Each structure stands twice: as C-alpha cells, then as structure tokens.
Amino acid sequence: MSSHAASSHTSAVVGHEAAHDPNLKHHFENADQQKESASIGMWVFLLTELMFFGGLFLAYFVYRQWYPAAFISASNKTDVLIGAINTTVLICSSLTMALAVHYASLGKKQLLVFFLIATLLLGGIFLGVKGYEYHDKWVHHEIPGEHFECEGCQDAGHAQLFFSLYFGMTGLHASHMIIGFGILLVLIFQANRGDFTAKWYTPVEMFGLYWHFVDIVWIFLFPLLYLIDRVGRPLL
Amino acid sequence: MIAATVPVKEEKNYMNAEHGLKSWLLTQDHKRIALLYLLSVTVFFIVGGLFAALIRLELTTPAGDLLDSNTYNKVFTAHGVVMIFFFLIPSIPAILGNFLLPLMIGAKDLAFPRINLLSWYVYMLGGTLGVVVLATGGVDTGWTFYTPLSTTYSNGYVVLTAMAAFVAGFSSILTGLNFIVTVHRMRAPGLTWFRLPLFVWAHYATSVIMILGTPVIAVTLFMLMLERGLHIGFFDPAYGGDPVLFQHLFWFYSHPAVYIMILPSMGVISEVVSTFCSKKPFGYTFIAFSSVAIAVFGFLVWGHHLYVSSQSAYAGMVFSILTYILAIPSAIKIFNWAATMYKGQVRLTAPMLYALGFIGLFTVGGLTGLFLAAMGLDVHVTDTYFVVAHFHYVMVGGAIMGYMAGLHYWWPKITGRMYSQLWAKVACCLVFIGFNLTFFPQFVLGYLGMPRRYHVYPVEFQVLNVLSSGGAAVLGLGYLIPGVYFLWSLKYGAKAGDNPWGATTLEWQTSSPPPTANFEVTPVVTTEVYDYSNTEVPHIV
Amino acid sequence: MPDQSFQLFPEAASSIAGQVDALYAFMVLISALFSLLIAFLIIFFAIKYRHRPGIKPTFKPADDHSIGGMVLEIVWTAIPLVLSMVMFVWGVSIYFTQSRPPADSMEIYVTGKQWMWKVQHMEGAREINELHIPLNRNIKLTMTSEDVIHDFYIPAFRTKADVLPGKYTTEWFKATKTGAYHIFCAEYCGTKHSEMIGTVYVMNEADYSQWLAAGSGEGSMAEQGQSLFNQLGCGNCHASAVNNGIGRGPNLNGLYGSRVDLKDGTAVKADESYIRESVMYPQAKLVAGFDDVMPTFKGLISDEGMLKLIAYVKSMGLKQGAPNTVPPASVTTNSTAPTAGRGAARAATPVTAPTSAGNK
C-alpha cells in the first residue's frame, strides 16, 4: 500500500542472532533482553505482593492503635519459642535458597539440587510448625467465631480482632509458602534433569526473589504478632 | 514516526497462520489472545447490558411491579459486578492494548506471552464463576460489597461472587505486569520514551494502577471472604471491628479502578484525534505526563467517597483538595485534544465521531465529578442518582465511547476489512443521543434527592425515570448496530489496506491483518512520533 | 404527605439548603460554560478545518514547545485550578457548617434497623419512620444502627449522614419551612432498602409542643435511662445523680463532655461513643485509679436502651455533685417543653403517635 512507499526513510535491519540459544524465546532479540524482562517482571510482581499484604498490615495497625490493651494481652497467647524457632528455620531456608542460586550461577548441578532440597525441607518444617501452632489455637478455642475464648485476656471483646489478623496474616503467608513449596518441587525436578546452566538459570533466580520476599514478610509478622509485649519480660 | 518494512509478500497473517480451535485456545500470540478477549468481553457486555435493561424496565413505574425487591437488588448487583470487573476493566487494555502495544512499539509480542494467555484463562475462570453465580442465585450486596451487609446480613453467594472478582483481579495484575515490562524492555531501536504513541503512555499509566491497586482489592476481598465464610472477622462491629475500614480499603482500589477504565480510553482518543486531524497531538508531553499524574494522584483521593461515612472533616478536606488537583490533568487533556483540531485536516469518520462524542460526554462526566468533590454539595448528592449519572458519564460516555472509537479505528488493522462508515455514524449518533437521554435526567433526579439502588420510588420521580428508560432503549439499539456491521464486514467488507486512515504510528506500517511476528523485520525508528509530513491524507467520508 | 407533583428542583426547607443551592448554581454555571466552550470549539474546528483533498499536512514538531503553546498550556492549567480551588474552599466551608451542630441544638436520637427508622425524643416521645420537629430550631440527631450501615437523608434539608452500627454519628439542621418532607435511607442496606423511608414533619412551635406532650407518657429519655440504670445495678458501683455509689467505678456526675484520664496515661473525651464502649467493652479504656472489675454489658442492652442510658449520663452533667435529685425531664431543650394539656393534645396527635412498638 501507499504507506510503505511513504515510509521510505532509511532504517537498519536488526535480524535474529545467527546462533540460536535454545532458551531464548522467539520474541526477544537476545538473552540479555530476556533476562532483564524476567527480572523486572519479578520485581513488579513482588511489588503487587507487597500491596497484597499491605491491606492486612493496614488493618493491623489501625486496630492495634485502637485497642492496644487487647492486642498486647492477646499477643501473649502466642508461643514465642515456637515463633522464634520458625523464624530461624525460615532465615536458614533463605540462606540455602541463596546458595542454590549461587551454585546455579556456577553451573554446579549437584549442589544446586542439594540446596533446593534443603530449602524445600526447611520450608516444610516451617509449615509443619505453623500447622502445630494452628492446632494449638484450635484446642484453646482461640479461633475467632462463636466458640472463641481468650482466657486471661484483657479486653477479650476486642481480642478476637487480634486473632482474626493473626490467622489472616499468617494464613496468607503460609499460602505463599505452600505455593513456593510446589514451585520448589518443579524446580528440583528441572534442576535434576539438567535444565539449568551457568548461562541460563533464570527460573531459579526468580524463585529465589520470591522466596526471600516471603521470608521478609515473616520477619515483619513475627514481631507484630509475637513480640509486642515481651520487652523486659522472661521470654518463656 | 517512520519505520521501513518490507511489504509482506503473501496473505499469511496471524488469523490464517494456523487453524483449528486448539491453535486459538493455546495461542501465545498477543493478537489472537486479544481476539479471545474481544469475544469474551463482548459476551460479558451483553450480559451486563441485559441486567441494565431489566433495571430500566423496572424503574419505568414507581412501584415494584416487574421484579420483587430481592431480585431487583440482585439484578443491579449483577449489572455492577459484570460491567466493572468483567467488562470495563479488561475492555480496552486486554483487547486493544493487548493487540496494539507490541505493534506500536515494534515488538514481536508482549514480554511474557504465556502469562498473557494465562491471564485470559484466569479472567475466564473468574468471569464464568461470576456469571454462573449471579445467574443461579445471585447476590444482593451491590458491587461495593459493603460490610456488615455483605458479611452478615446479605442473602446470596457473597463468597463466590467475591471469589469471582478476586480471580478476575489476578488477570488484570498479570496484564498490567506484562505491559510494564514490555514497554520498558521491548521497544524497537530508536523508539525513545518521548517517541511513544500516547496510547502506550496511557496504557503504561493504567498498568501502574493495575499492579498497585488490584492487590489491595484482592486482599480486601480475601478478608471479606474469611469473615463471611469462616467468621474470622476483620470489620465486624460486634467485636469492635470497623466497617468503614472496609470502605477505605475498597475505595483505595476502586477509585483508581475508574482510571483503569478511563485512561486507556484517553489513550485511544489521543490516537484517533491525531490521525483524523493529521496533526501531532497538541501538547504531546502534557498529555503523556497527565496520564502519569492521573495514575499517581488517583491513589490519593479515595476518601472522597466517605464524606458522609463518619470520616474526619479534616481528612475529608485533604481528599477534597487532592481530588480537585486530580481534575486538572483531565482538563489539560481535553483542551489539548481540542487544540489538536486547530488547523488540522479534520475528517469526521466514524472513529472520529466517537472520539468527539467521548470528549463531550467525558467533559460533562468530569465536571460533575467536581460537584461530588465539593464536600458541602456531596453531602446532598452522594448516594443519589447524581452519582449514578456522573459515573455513567465517565464510564459509559467516557470509557465505552473510547472503546468504540478504538474498535472502529483499529478494526481495519485487526481484521483487514472496512465496515460501513454510514452505519457506523448512524450508530454513533444513536449512542450519543440515547446516552444523554438516559443519563442526563438522572442528574436532575439526583439533585431532587432520589437515592440510588431504589427499587420503588416516590411518584414525583416517575417522569424523569421514564425519560431515562426511553433513552436506554435508544442506547441499546445504538450498541446493537455495530455488532451487525462489524460481523458483516468480516465477510463482505472492503479490503482495508495497511494504512487506510493515513496514520503514522508503527502498527499501520505493517500489513492488515499483521503477520504473526508483527513485522517482517524489526523496525528502527529514526524520526519523531506523529510526523505526518510524508503521509497522504486519504479522503474518507 | 410530601409533595407528589413533578418537580425539577427540590424544595429548600433548611437553613443550609440555600447555601448548598448557591454552590450548586455556581458549579452548574461553570460547568455549562466549559462544556459549551469545548463543544463550540470542537464543532467550529471540525467545520472550519475540515479536510479538503489535495492539501498536504505540514509537520510542526514544536507546537506545544513554542512560547505560544506554553502560554496556552499554562493558561488552561491555571484557570481550572483557580476555579476548582474556589469550589474546594466553598464546599469545605459549607461542610464545616453542616458537620458541626450548634451548641444550643435540641437533641433527638435515631436508631436505624433493617428496614425502619426509630426516633426517640428527649422528652420521651417515640415514633417510627416519622420525625416531628419544630420550625426554626437547631436539631441535632444522634444516630446509630442495630445492624448494617444506613444513611439518614432528608433531601429538602440537603443533608445526610451514614448511620453506623457500634458507633454514633450526628447530623443537624434547622428547618425553615413547615410541611412534610421525605426521609430516605441513602446507604444501600439490603432487600427493602427502598422502603426504609419516612417523613419529616416540620411544625410550628405550638403544634410541636402539643404533639410532643401527647407522646411523653413513659417519661423523658433520661428518666427511662435512669430506670434502666437502676435495673442493671449500675449504681452499685458508680456514683450518679441519685446515689454516691461505693466508688468502685468512676463517678458519672459531670462525666459527659469531660476529659477522662486513662490508666495507660492517655486521655479521652467522654462522648457518646466512649460511654457506649465503656459499657460494652469495659476493659478497652480503663480509667486511671480504678481496677478492672466491671463486667461487660454486651448483649444485655439494646441500642435504644443504650441511648437512654447515655441520655441519663448526659443529664447528670448539669447536676454535678448534687445527689438525690432526679434530673429534669428535658435537659438540653429549653423551657418550652410542655407538661400540661396532655389529654387535649392527644386527639390532635398525628396518627403516628409514639407507641412502644418501637421497642421490638
């Protein structure tokens, strides 16, 4: 059509790279562009995750401001020791994940697989402990609803809000852990199959970002839910 | 903007490259995904429109004679949920944005084609769940899901409906994410930020809102579902929870969501007005930055929905002044569009008519927003038909007019066929007349004090309601006609050619319909955007 | 019944209505000017610069970067900005008048529930879906909801406010025209939202006195509050207008409106919401110097009962330190509250004479 004739200005032609990288998707010009895209995409995704948790954090801050007494006494119902153990477990899993990414970048398949499995196990321990804590709350009728009780709580009427937030926040966090657990299984399978090389290990790296994010969320949840009123008191 | 391409030798294009249902349902081509969206969004539009028809029929008489109260409430809830979550939010970004963004920036596809396809499936999952729930039992909370009505007192499937909106939300997060990465990393060589078409700027700003706002509605609905389903209460006043906190969280998303609907439309209008005036949009940088300003300030005004909700008067003041500041970028756009026409080569084609209709209706919609931002006046008109009229002027008069303008403008590119200009103009006029007849009386009704969401109403409001219902019939007809000539054009329409309108942006430099890879060779941009100096001005009547 | 004839503009029957209408008129004018300007420009340009075949477009890359372009951009940014700031200030000033009840306001209590309005007058009269008020007096409504969020809206007065569960909101107006006007629930509240409507009757002072007298059979709100107070045994711990209590709980004389120092070192103003919270959640805000001994009364007191208790506590404010005195029937209203002529007035009472039906 005429438009082609009209657009006659000079322009260079950028073709495909001659040697085709099997991991390079057809719509990217080169591996760098592909990797940068994945990385920006992941960070943007984490931003959405931040906003996602943000709603619950906002509710937490509002109600804690309104009902400090209830929050303080209800938070004493949480088990700091178990919480601290779980925090340690999760931080260790972040370390193993970081090491997994490191060895992926070196192309050391066996170490990669090893550290991915270690991360998986630590994540599993975290979820198991969390499940135990939930069960404990269930036994003590600390689940909000009709049968809610909060023995020895000050302002028990408002303590329900604390436990609603406790379950909402840790529940959302745990669901992220479960999703992470699932993805880890796939990654372990792929790593073992030898899908990742020192040149291309983007999925491992991106998953690492996700895992650290979930870890950091917990780093905020732990003090907000367990440590409000432990200053100057025996921990146990 | 000039880019050289080698003319496509053969008739192979994205539509006939592959055949069979599977080639569509598993496609990773952004153009095919856009068509999947077009088809499904149209279905939801029809569903939402039928609910609207029921509402207007019921309101022709003051008594509740067609539907009972419970059904009426479910019908307007369904209308709101379907139109907002399943039609307006995905309409322009997921159809036109999806189709055009890569073409406009000279890319072969969006950055994450598989995520793009996933977003359609997620959308379909949410949409199907939503429609099935609304059709089988429905819910009577209104699309706003206000607590404690939704959590404790409503009858109906609150959790499932909230779940549907929740799921559909992820689709828009994925789309926004894809757009942002694509604009950052996939631009053709030489295509600097200030050479980007304004449509791309608008979609970039929209994507920012999608990724920052949508998660907040998601978590709000998550809390709502926990409270309704498991009695894990966050907003229950029985335990000291605050139902107004829900409103804050809800509007923190839902006000910016209005800009998810209107910004892409503004992007369309910038393209259409420029093309049919053969002139670079006046104040290109102002229009571009006003989109970004709207996206940013849009997040700071949610409290103007809460002037009568016991929000502090001082908080209200801050929200009020921010709302007025937010109105300025929209005003700038309108003036710049009008100035673009000055000394242009104005051609009143169907897309241009729709675009001019947009400018007129959106002006009214925007100005009446100022009424609602004025605290003292809002106390009287909030929650009345004034609000209903205002947001329909913005969403139907604005967003849908823009969507229609875009559809008419890019139809030749999408399908390679031309539709009847005459019929398109007739339809446009019907829409314009029908729309004003439907919604203008509602401003009057609102100031008279008729509350929204009223099933029965005092007799003195009947005359205006009948006018409104009559207008709705005309409006409905106006929306039906394009369905006919668009379908007709697929088989009988004249071949459109690559650049039938004399436009300059990159998507017109490839063939119509474009090949699967969009461009035979990656275009390199060497000139400024909207350079009409070498473009013929086709005379289309 | 409110006027049922076709209208294009609502009746203005309150002191604020004129102000709201004036702002509305200003904004309609500005909007009309802008809309017509834009419409004119678009149509004019579309005709004047319509495409004529054969003319080639010329590319002027720097339209908006030229001095003229810049000036235009500044002008059409500045003018709307200035106008909108006028609207902002004007709107805020009306809002501040609307949201701050004058000190001399006569108080009426409103409870919303699905789907009716229950009104309690200080003098004891009660009504459902109707509100009788005197002309030219500042009226303050203190409102709460038993279930979902409602909104008490009187279009002729140009005012509304949300009615929230577990919280008190207020709304005030001064009616300037006798007559009957709509009350609408303006916040969607479920199935019969559109039937949660009522009528406000603006009466002149004499008619109002008559009407009020007819319905005060159960005694004033404060009196009713007092009997509830006794029934619940509040006086066992709290010093009040009629006893000294035993000092286990804070003294309630002169409490309302005062500053209360709390155990945690903060202070709070004793308003309606504070009193309500102290009864429902006694531990939420412990008063300095007192132990955590009060049980919760949640579930034992209805929202209307709570309003009576509040009215009683408020009434103690005026009789500070004077035990053994029954509070006056109407504390915050002036002396026009009638005590005589009940029998005669009953015949003239509107059909909606208060009944105890409002209780259930």
On whether residue B514 sits in a domain, the answer given is no
Same domain (yes/no): C226, C322: yes
Predicted local distance difference test score (pLDDT) of residue C213: 83
Per-residue HEC secondary structure of A166-209 comes to: HHHHHHHHHHHHHHHHHHHHHHHHHHHHCCCCCCCCHHHHHHHH
Strand partners for C109: C120, C142
Choose among B503, B526, B281: nearest CA to B413. B503
B358 to chain A, closest Cα gap in Å:
29
The burial class, CB within 10 Å (0-12 / 13-18 / 19+), for A17 is exposed
pLDDT greater than 60 at residue A59 = yes
User: Which residue, chain included where needed, has tokens 């609102």?
Assistant: B446
Give the DSSP letter string of B464-500: HHHHHHHHHHHHHHHHHHHHHHHHHHHHHSPB--S-T
Tell me the CB-side half-sphere exposure of residue C161, using CA atoms within 13 A: 26
First-to-last alpha carbon distance for chain A, in angstroms, is 81
Side by side, the strands of the sheet bearing C179-185 are: C130-134, C198-203, C179-185, C150-154, C159-163
Query: CA-nearest residue of chain C to B384?
Result: C186
A32 or B264, which is more confident: B264
- Is the predicted ipTM greater than 0.90, yes or no? yes
Rounded to an integer, the average pLDDT of A54-79 is 90
> How many residue pairs from chains A and B have C-beta atoms closer than 8 A?
179
Of the pLDDT bands very low, low, confident and very high (cuts 50, 70, 90), residue C289 is confident
Predicted local distance difference test score (pLDDT) of residue C15: 95
Considering chain B, what is the average pLDDT of its residues?
93
Condensed to tens digits (0 to 9), the pLDDT of residues C198-220 reads 999 999 999 999 898 887 677 88
Same domain (yes/no): C212, C112: yes
CATH code, domain carrying C205? 2.60.40.420
Q: Give the C-alpha separation, B388 to B394, whole Å.
A: 10
The answer to whether the beta carbons of residues B442 and B469 sit under 8 Å apart is no
Candidates A49, A157, A160; nearest CB to B233 = A160
Q: Where are the domains of chain A?
A: 25-226
Partner A contacted by B240 (CB < 8 A)? yes
Our CA angle for B322, B328, B330, nearest 5°, is 115
Condensed to tens digits (0 to 9), the pLDDT of residues B131-164 reads 899 888 889 999 999 989 999 898 889 999 999 9
Candidates C264, C280, C284; nearest CB to A70 = C284
Chain C contact partners (≥3 CB pairs within 8 A): A, B
Residue-range definition of the domain harbouring residue C199 = 106-217+345-359
On whether residue C237 sits in a domain, the answer given is yes
Tell me the CB-side half-sphere exposure of residue A37, using CA atoms within 13 A: 26
Tokens of B369: 């927003």
On whether residue C333 sits in a domain, the answer given is no
Predicted local distance difference test score (pLDDT) of residue B167: 96
pLDDT greater than 80 at residue A27 = yes
The answer to whether the beta carbons of residues A163 and A156 sit under 8 Å apart is no
Of the pLDDT bands very low, low, confident and very high (cuts 50, 70, 90), residue C358 is very low
Our CA angle for B199, B202, B203, nearest 5°, is 85
Give the DSSP letter string of B495-527: B--S-TT---SGGGGS-SSPPTTSSSSB----S
Candidates C151, C158, C190; nearest CB to B140 = C190
Tokens of A52: 């996602």
Host H or E run for residue B311: none
A175 to chain C, closest Cα gap in Å:
32
Q: Give the C-alpha separation, B330 to B324, whole Å.
A: 11
User: What total of structural domains would you count in chain B?
Assistant: 1
Predicted local distance difference test score (pLDDT) of residue C57: 59
One CATH from 1.10.10.10, 3.30.70.1450, 1.20.120.80, 3.40.50.720 for A25-226: 1.20.120.80
Give phi and psi for C154, each to the nearest 5.
-120, 100
Candidates A7, A29, A66; nearest CB to B3 = A7
On whether residue C85 sits in a domain, the answer given is yes
Other CB atoms within 10 Å distance of the CB of residue A189? 12
Same domain (yes/no): C116, C264: no
pLDDT greater than 80 at residue B174 = yes
Same domain (yes/no): C212, C351: yes
Pairing of strands C198-203, C130-134: parallel
Buried residues in C76-97 as b, exposed as e (16+ CB within 10 A): bbeebeebbebbbebbbebbee
Same domain (yes/no): C138, C234: no
Q: Give the C-alpha separation, C268 to A10, whole Å.
A: 75
On whether residue B526 sits in a domain, the answer given is no
CATH code, domain carrying B205? 1.20.210.10
Radius of gyration of chain B (CA): 23
Same domain (yes/no): C212, C305: no
Partner C contacted by B133 (CB < 8 A)? no
On whether residue B530 sits in a domain, the answer given is no
Q: Give the C-alpha separation, B350 to B409, whole Å.
A: 8
Mutate to test the interface with A, among B122, B234, B505 (most CBs of A within 10 A): B234
CB-based contact C38 B368, cutoff 8 Å: no
On whether residue C303 sits in a domain, the answer given is yes
Same domain (yes/no): C236, C213: no
Tell me the CB-side half-sphere exposure of residue C191, using CA atoms within 13 A: 9
Of the pLDDT bands very low, low, confident and very high (cuts 50, 70, 90), residue A139 is confident
pLDDT greater than 80 at residue C320 = no
Tell me the CB-side half-sphere exposure of residue C334, using CA atoms within 13 A: 9
pLDDT greater than 50 at residue B59 = yes
Distances (CA, A) of B349 to B276, B420, C55: 8, 11, 18
On whether residue B75 sits in a domain, the answer given is yes
Residue-range definition of the domain harbouring residue B69 = 31-509
Condensed to tens digits (0 to 9), the pLDDT of residues A184-224 reads 999 999 999 999 999 899 999 999 999 999 999 999 999 99
Q: Provide, as residue numbers in chain A, all residues whose Cβ is less than 8 Å from the Cβ of B5.
A: 4, 7
Strand partners for C172: C140
User: What total of structural domains would you count in chain C?
Assistant: 3
Predicted local distance difference test score (pLDDT) of residue A73: 85
Chain A contact partners (≥3 CB pairs within 8 A): B, C
Predicted local distance difference test score (pLDDT) of residue B135: 81
Same domain (yes/no): C350, C212: yes
Pairing of strands C130-134, C138-145: unpaired
Give all strands (DSSP E) within B97-256, no chain letters: none
B239 or C327, which is more confident: B239
Chain centroid offset of residue B26 CA? 26
Condensed to tens digits (0 to 9), the pLDDT of residues C28-83 reads 999 999 999 999 999 999 999 888 877 665 555 555 567 888 888 999 999 999 99
* Residue C140 per-residue DSSP state: E
* Residue C328 per-residue DSSP state: P
On whether residue C92 sits in a domain, the answer given is yes
Same domain (yes/no): C231, C211: no
Q: Give the C-alpha separation, B163 to C53, whole Å.
A: 56
Residues sharing a CB contact under 8 Å with residue C328, sequence separation 6 or more, in sequence order? C220, C222, C315, C318
Of the pLDDT bands very low, low, confident and very high (cuts 50, 70, 90), residue C224 is confident
Our CA angle for C217, C219, C220, nearest 5°, is 130
Residues 49-68 of C with CB under 8 A from B: 49-53, 55-61, 63-64
Same domain (yes/no): C196, C295: no
Q: Provide, as residue numbers in chain B, all residues whose Cβ is less than 8 Å from the Cβ of C53.
A: 537, 539
The answer to whether the beta carbons of residues B192 and B527 sit under 8 Å apart is no
Candidates A67, A154, A157; nearest CB to C292 = A154
Condensed to tens digits (0 to 9), the pLDDT of residues C97-121 reads 999 999 999 999 999 999 999 999 9
Give phi and psi for C152, each to the nearest 5.
-90, 110
Predicted local distance difference test score (pLDDT) of residue B158: 93
On whether residue C336 sits in a domain, the answer given is no
pLDDT greater than 60 at residue C332 = no
Q: Which amino acid appears at position A204 of this protein? A: V
The answer to whether the beta carbons of residues B446 and B389 sit under 8 Å apart is yes
User: Which residue, chain included where needed, has tokens 């791309």?
Assistant: B200
